Amino acid sequence: MYQLLIFDWDGTLIDSAGRIVSSMQRAASAQGLAPRGDAAIRNIIGLGLPEALDALYPGIEGEEVEAMRERYSRYYLAEDEPPASLFTGVEAGLGRLRDSGYTLAVATGKSRRGLVQVFEETGLGELFHLSRCADETRSKPHPMMLEEILAETGHPVESALMIGDTEYDLEMASRAGMASVGVSYGVHEQQRLLRHAPQTVIHRFAELETWLEGQKNQIQPQAVGED
């Protein structure tokens, strides 16, 4: 039975793709870089910012990377960016999962600064036992984020579940030997998620609770000697 639930943030709990795309485009324009379309930017959501920039602008390095990081962060945190809202059912659902005894964690491509801000904006920070951000460890799909969360919580990998909307989330889980659940309402289409063999793919957040309940209610094999 799963005890530790590890959530991606952007595209899984919060509908922030529009804000990320707009912020990246504004930052690139301010820095004089060639524009990138919405689809290209949505494709890199979930990666750490240096890895995302390398995918969008191969060869960018050094001071130019740092300048883009600063510009992107400034635009993303700006009040005039499109607001990002929680997906339907997330706040209440997370509360019920925590009250049911699950340990909740976040593994995100966001920076710590960015995660702290959205924790404050949404009021969800207190629901999570711990979190890991891309500027503190290795970026997805490297499994280090998950390995560090397992080490800190003391949970074995068999009791943990990664929930995310991108193939980076699910590949990270696979590389860590961890089960995963795909989220189809985020940025990567279902076919991409299925490449990494998730336990299931959900289409609304509320389906996660139902699926987890089904996992708990599965009939356990009868031990030898039991009547």
Which residues are part of the catalytic machinery? 8, 10
Q: Tell me which residue has tokens 């910012």.
A: 49
- How many angstroms separate the CA atoms of 17 and 22, rounded? 9
- How many angstroms separate the CA atoms of 189 and 140, rounded? 18
Q: What six digits make up the tokens of 52?
A: 């995302």
Please name the residues in contact with 8: beta carbons below 8 A apart, sequence gap of 6 or more: 46, 106, 107, 108, 109, 162, 163, 164, 165, 166, 169, 183
Label the pairing between strands 130-133 and 103-108.
parallel
Beta-bridged to residue 7, according to DSSP, are 106, 163
- How many angstroms separate the CA atoms of 76 and 29, rounded? 14
- How many angstroms separate the CA atoms of 19 and 198, rounded? 28
String of DSSP letters for 74-104:
HHHHSTTSPP-EEPTTHHHHHHHHHHTT-EE
